[in-house]
Amino acid sequence: MKGLRDLFTALAAVILGLLAGAALMWAIGANPVEGFSYLFRGGLMNVERIGNTLATATTLTLTGLAMAFAFRTGLFSIGASGQMLMGGLVATVIGLSLHLPKWEMLALILLASMIAGAVWGFIPGYLKARFNVHEVVSTIMLNWVAYWIVYYTIPAHFKANLETESARIPDYASLKVAWLTDLFHGSFINLGVFVAIVCVVITAVVLNRSVLGYELKAVGFSKTAAEFAGIDVEKSMALSLGISGALAGLAGATFYVGYAVNMQVGVMPSQGMDAIAVALLGANSPIGVVLAALFFGVLHSGKGFMNAMTGIPPEIGDTIIAIIIYFAATSVLFTRLFDGLRAKLRRQH
């Protein structure tokens, strides 16, 4: 029942977002049908573009999972950007410093970026548990701490020709593999997609089937009742943010040593913020997150094509995402509508 209602809510938000996008296109004198057809073709029209959409969705899925995990425990983390940066930085540093066989290298990179993200998530978790520092404040601050650490570290120790980016990640340290790149005709797709799938499954199992998930969700729904049940609320919050950070750290690896070929400095990754929308639209469920990430992936990789073919500014794509977020955030309206419709149907039968 809940699943069906969430799906209804998400679809309603998406459709209204697309309609609003159509209205905007129409308002600037463009043809919405044409605009949307290029937007979706840009994301899906050939194997390479589908590959790029999947690569974009990979990072979004992982950051979205990170958000959903924290939200489920009742914590409003917005630290995925910083955790991504830390995960990406550690991955880049390892990739540029060590020389190991590819599989050992990748295992090490994934593990290290996960730990880096987990640490970056655990810090606000600990501050919340120990000193009741609000996680919104501490995660934002840590985002900037990570930003400046990258800003210092990369140009100081890992640059090549340009001051603003690291040296190129060698092939043996990249999540890109030839067979996958070839399969998708040279797209950005990389092994991260499998990492994301594994993480979705693990997250779903932990949340729905495990004792840990039971405890974390209980804390998320009602701290007072969790306390009554003998659950260590503070430990749960710190742990939850740590796990959330680990997922975002992995997202960083899939982006900086998978999607990209090097690490730029001075850029706060937008996937960290988009993740909030992904989690919201996906109703904080792992499978919902995947679907939402895929949808946003299409919009992200299609907006450039739309712009090139029709002259509609790519910002329309971002605007549609923003409007969908608004509708998803006001989902209680759709929930009521859904319940109302259901009650009406029931009465007729």
Partner 1 sequence: MDDYIVEMLNITKRFPGILANDDISIRLRKGEIHALLGENGAGKSTLMSILFGLYKPDSGVIRLRGAEVHVANPNVAGELGIGMVHQHFKLVQNFTVTENIVLGLEPMKGLVVDLRSAAERIEKLSKTYGLNVDPWARIEDITVGMQQRVEILKMLYRNAEVLIFDEPTGVLTPQEIDDLMAIMRNLIAEGKSILLITHKLKEIKAIADRCTVIRRGKVVGTVNVADTDEAAMAEMMVGRAVSFTVDKKPREPGGVVLEVEGLNVLSSRKALAVKDLSLELRYGEILGLAGVDGNGQTELVEALTGLRKVQSGTVRLKGVDVTRASVRARIASGMAHIPEDRQRRGLVLDYSMEDNLVLEVYGERPYSRGGFLDRKAIRSHAEKLMEDFDVRSGEGAVEVARALSGGNQQKAIVGREIDHDPDVLVAVQPTRGLDVGSIEYIHKRLVEQRDRGKAVLLVSLELDEIMDLSDRVAVISHGSIVGVVDPAAVTEADIGLMMTGVGRGGSGGPEVARGSAGKGVEK
Site for partner 1 in 170-209 (CB under 8 A): 209
Closest to 174 in 3D by CA, of 259, 271, 113, 57: 259
Q: What tokens were used for 24? A: 């905007």
Alpha-carbon gap, residue 256 to 263, rounded angstroms: 6
Answer for the pair 154, 17: CB distance below 8 angstroms, yes or no: no
Distance of CA 210 to the CA centre of its chain: 23
Query: Given the complex with partner 1, which of 162 and 229 has the nearer CB atom?
Result: 229
Can you tell me which of 171, 228, 270, 336 binds partner 1, judged by CB under 8 A?
Answer: 228
Q: From the CB of 227, what's the least distance to partner 1, in Å?
A: 6
341 vs 323: CA distance, rounded Å: 24
Figure out which of the listed residues 140, 144, 214, 322 binds partner 1, where binding follows CB under 8 A: 214
Choose between 89 and 233: whose C-beta lies nearer to partner 1: 233
Binding segment toward partner 1, per CB under 8 A, in 29-37, 219-227, 257-265, 281-289: 219-227
User: Shortest Cβ distance from residue 210 to partner 1 (Å)?
Assistant: 5
Number of residues that bind partner 1 (CB under 8 A): 22
- Residues 295 and 56: beta-carbon distance below 8 Å: no
Nearer to partner 1, 34 or 227 (CB): 227
Among 132, 230, 348, 349, binds partner 1 (CB under 8 A): 230
CA distance 213 to 87: 24
11: its two tokens? 């679809």
Which of 20, 153, 168, 227 contacts partner 1 by CB under 8 A? Answer: 227
User: Would you give the binding string for partner 1 spanning residues 240-279, x where CB under 8 A is met?
Assistant: ----------------------------------------
* Residues 314-343 contacting partner 1, CB under 8 A: 339-340, 343
For residue 255, how many other CB atoms are within 10 A of its CB? Answer: 29
Q: Closer CB to partner 1, residue 5 or residue 41? A: 5
Contact status: 15 vs partner 1 (CB under 8 A): no
Q: Which of 30, 84, 94, 226 binds partner 1 (CB under 8 A)?
A: 226
Indicate if the alpha-carbon torsion angle 44, 324, 286, 67 is positive or negative: positive
> DSSP assignment of 231-272, as one string?
--HHHHHHHHHHHHHHHHHHHHHHIIIIISSS-BSS---THH
- Please select the residue that binds partner 1; options are 29, 224, 345, 348, rule is CB under 8 A: 224
From the CB of 74, what's the least distance to partner 1, in Å?
11
CA dist 258 and 199 (Å) reads: 16
CB of 72 to partner 1, least distance (A): 11
Of 15 and 341, which has the nearer Cβ to partner 1? 341
Residue among 241, 308, 268, 299 nearest 71 (CA): 241
- How many CA atoms within 13 Å lie on the side-chain side of 83? 38
**Beta bridge partner(s), residue 40:** none
Of the candidate residues 27, 156, 178, 211, the single one contacting partner 1 (CB under 8 A):
211
Q: Which residues bind partner 1 (CB under 8 A)?
A: 209-212, 214, 217-218, 221-222, 224-230, 232, 339-340, 343, 346-347
